Structure 1
Amino acid sequence: MNKQEIGTFLLRVMLGVTFFMHGLSKFQGGLDNISGWFQSIGIPGFMAYAVATIEVAGGIALIVGLGTRIISVLFACILAGAIIYVKLPAGFMGNEEGAGYEMDLMLMVLALHLVLNGSRFLSLDSKLLTYKKGQESKSIAS
């Protein structure tokens, strides 16, 4: 274990918590309302359900370190969509009409870091991969 692994672990957990909370707020606010808002900005309404589910389930998965790279790709796609469809007109820092895309861009870079590097420290992925490797070596030895 080194400082980079601990740092990446902290990034993974914070990204997971952030997305979990955003997804949870979508469910609490009513997905029908979110769906209507998605439609009003030109995104199919069913995507609200997909995004909220990915945010909640993916957030939990990142916190425990399960499927980190795959979930991070999904999060990067969600963030790219948020920047393009919602935040871009307001600019980097935002304007009186709404928030800018600086935070979304930062979260997307964080997600891409996890895609490229993974995060094995205190992750279920590392436990499952160790188990699988152990099983393969036992089969080969037999």
Structure 2
Amino acid sequence: MKKNIDLGFLILRITVAGLMLFHGVAKLSHLDGIKNMLSSSGIPEFMAYGVFITKIIAPVLMIIGFRTRLASIIFFFGMITALFLAHSGNMFALSKTGGLQIELILLYAFGALTLFFIGSGKYAISSKHIWD
């Protein structure tokens, strides 16, 4: 069977970023809750708009394959920030099925980190720039 690594890169981009895009769109209606969580942590409320960058803009760029490495590292740090802000009490807690409660965040974060290291592949709008 012939290897098609670039198709694998495309599938990874669409899966990681596409699924996160649903979370980002859902966050649009919960911005006040995010602002409250940030202010209770001593973080300025305007940082809540970073959710749009990390959960909407970065995933769209990853899906289309434009500046994939840059978008992926932004996405990664957004997931790590969410992990510490919203889930710090659950870091080592297990779910009812035996997995870590934070495993979904970790899958998103490390999927994005993988894309940062491998880039967009040839099935992308842009693939020649250093940030692709």
Identify the TM-score tier after normalising by the shorter chain.
0.7 to 0.9
Larger Rg belongs to: 1
- Which residue is equivalent to 2:26? 25
Counterpart-to-counterpart distance in 2, 1:82 and 1:33: 13
Identity %: 27
Is 1:77 the counterpart of 2:77? The answer is: yes
Counterpart-to-counterpart distance in 2, 1:104 and 1:11: 16
Once the 2 structures are TM-superposed, how far is the Cα of residue 37 of structure 1 from its aligned partner? Answer: 2.5
- Which residue is equivalent to 2:48? 48
- Which residue is equivalent to 1:134? none
Q: Which runs of 5+ in 2 are unaligned?
A: none
Counterpart-to-counterpart distance in 1, 2:41 and 2:24: 19
- Which residue is equivalent to 1:87? 87
Counterpart-to-counterpart distance in 2, 1:19 and 1:47: 19
- Which residue is equivalent to 1:105? 106
| TM-score for the superposition, normalised by structure 2 | 0.80
Per-residue Cα deviation, 1:29-88 (whole angstroms, up to 9, x for no partner): 3x2332123223443211111222332111111111111000110011011112222223
Per-residue Cα deviation, 1:7-34 (whole angstroms, up to 9, x for no partner): 22111111221222222111133x2332
What is the DSSP-based 3-state SS (H/G/I as helix, E as strand, rest coil) of the residue aligned with 2:121?
Answer: coil
Contact 1:66/1:123, CA 8 A, preserved across alignment? yes
Ranked by relative contact order (alpha carbons within 8 Å, sequence separation 6 or more), the top structure is 2
- Which residue is equivalent to 1:36? 36
Cα gap change, 1:121 to 1:10, in 2 (>3 Å): same
